[in-house]
Structure 1
Amino acid sequence: MLDRVEQIDMAGRSTRPASLLEAMRERTKVLHVTAERTGIVAELLRGRGTRAAYAVLLRNLLPVYEAMEAELLRHAASPVTGLIVRPELHRSAAIAADLAQLDARDLPLLPEAITYVSAIREAGSGSGHPLLAHAYTRYLGDLSGGQIIKKILARSLSLPHEALSFYEFPEIADIPSFKNEYREALEQAGGAMTEHDSVVEEAATAFQLNITLSQALQAAVGLDG
């Protein structure tokens, strides 16, 4: 793993972690717990969701992934952001397929999803380096907690395999190994850029956007408590 040079204060103490991944993980640790324990995500993890609620979640995540994937591809030639552009992770087509399987129509697009999309487009402006934070938040989540959600949804909602494409990665043969490779790519990207602190803060923003959307979706589908 590529080491980063730590910043040192006047007393010779380190002022930030040596790796981008470590810094993002530390900055979002509390937010990560909050994301799992609140909103529609928490309801799904507890097996208290409905097909309608899941469809509304997908409807609101679709433009988020479309924006993120479009911005990542736009920066595919970047020596920094390009390191984490992996089309096998792209989820927008899978989400659209799941919505078709669920025969989901005329579902609401919440303002919180629109805000999330705007934040991703802003992250993609300029160097595009803040996109590292959004890829870290969404894709590693899909490869980790998303696999747990898939099993719960299949059981609690009796969803067929064809309606769970969002959590399927047919082009990735070994998910644990791929996650390690992707973390390494994030580290290499972190070592090749200078906006370390702003990207770490963008990771916190990404988690907060997810939490806010999840809470809004919980209220919209009537799963409060």
Structure 2
Amino acid sequence: MVSVTAVSDEPSVVTALYLRTKALHLEAERTGIVADILRGAASRDGYVLLMRNLHPAYRELEDGIERHRNSPILAPLARWCLARTSAIAADLTALAGPNWAEQWPLLPEGEAYARTITLAAEGDGSRLIAHAYTRYLGDLNGGQIVRRLLEKSLGLGASELSHYDFSAIAEPATLKSDYRQALERAGAAAAASDAIVKEGAHAFECNIALSVAVQRRLADTLVPRPS
């Protein structure tokens, strides 16, 4: 009798995240300040307010991965020090001055997004895979389109868009491939892939809520510019 090795029909974690969040991704592109950016219609204030509210989310993501850097699950991700938190801070300083954190509001939706990532870092930290997928692969894919749109529509320069510049780490296409493989290895080591995929949907929901909140804040009030 010939033994047959069972082959799993389960998709890889990156594929599963893509399939689960595909519709949410499209919704995110058509909603709030992100839709304005993609149409070339966003204001400088809108972009500053968005990035000011994404900064805590990146900080919690990078702190969480660092705390789990020696775990078999997140070690493949910790190998890549993408350091977007410091890049965003540098961009905000260039865009809005050194006191941007005090002068530009942290919206409830921005706080909620960061808190979601803080909670995802609990336990074995495996749910951080979903947030790394959402943020970092997003930056390496659509983020490069966003950078070009912002250069054209708002006249932003390199010192204001370092968030999208990964050249000090690796060539973007190579980095995108390597980081995707790191996500796959992390997902394969995790015990609960369903929880990671569910977290991916939640991550997109947080992004959509923040995007809408930024657009609403701009419509409701004048965001103060630094003096």
Query: TM-score, normalising length from structure 1?
Result: 0.89
Q: Report matched runs for 1:169-188 at 5 Å.
A: 169-188=166-185
1:70 and 2:56 are equivalent in the alignment: no
Q: Which amino acid aligns with 2:88?
A: I
State the distance in 1 between where 2:41 and 2:136 align. 24
Letter in 2 for 1:58: M
**Alignment match of 2:127 (pick from 126, 130, 133):** 130
**Aligned counterpart in structure 2 of residue 96 of structure 1, from 76, 89, 92:** 89
Give the aligned CA root-mean-square deviation in angstroms. 1.6
| Pairwise CA distance, 1:173 | 3.0
- How far residue 194 of structure 1 moved from its aligned partner, in angstroms, is 1.3
Alignment match, 2:193: 196
Identity %: 47
* Partner SS, residue 222 of structure 1: helix
Unpaired runs of at least 5, structure 2: 1-5, 221-227
Task: State how far apart, in whole Å, the 2-side matches of 1:195 and 1:92 are.
Answer: 28
Q: Alpha-carbon deviation of 1:18?
A: 2.7
Runs of 4+ in 1 over 3 A off after TM superposition: none
What is the letter of the counterpart of residue 48 of structure 2? A
Q: Which of 52, 62, 68 is 2:45 aligned to? A: 52
Shift of residue 86, structure 1, vs aligned partner: 4.3
Cα distance, 1:63 vs structure 2: 0.8
Structure 2 distance, partners of 1:186, 1:159, is: 31
Partner of 1:20: 13
Amino acid at match of 1:155: K
Within a 5 Å distance, the mapping from 1:141-152 to structure 2 comes to 141-152=138-149
Q: In the superposition, relative to structure 1, how do residues 86 and 43 fare at CA in structure 2: closer, same or farther (>3 Å)?
A: farther
The answer for the alignment partner of 1:155 in structure 2 is: 152
The residue matched to 1:221 in structure 2 has which SS?
helix
**Paired residues, what number?**
211
Equivalent position of 1:29 in the other structure: 22
Mean Cα deviation higher: 173-182 or 150-159: 173-182
Counterpart for residue 218 of structure 2: 221
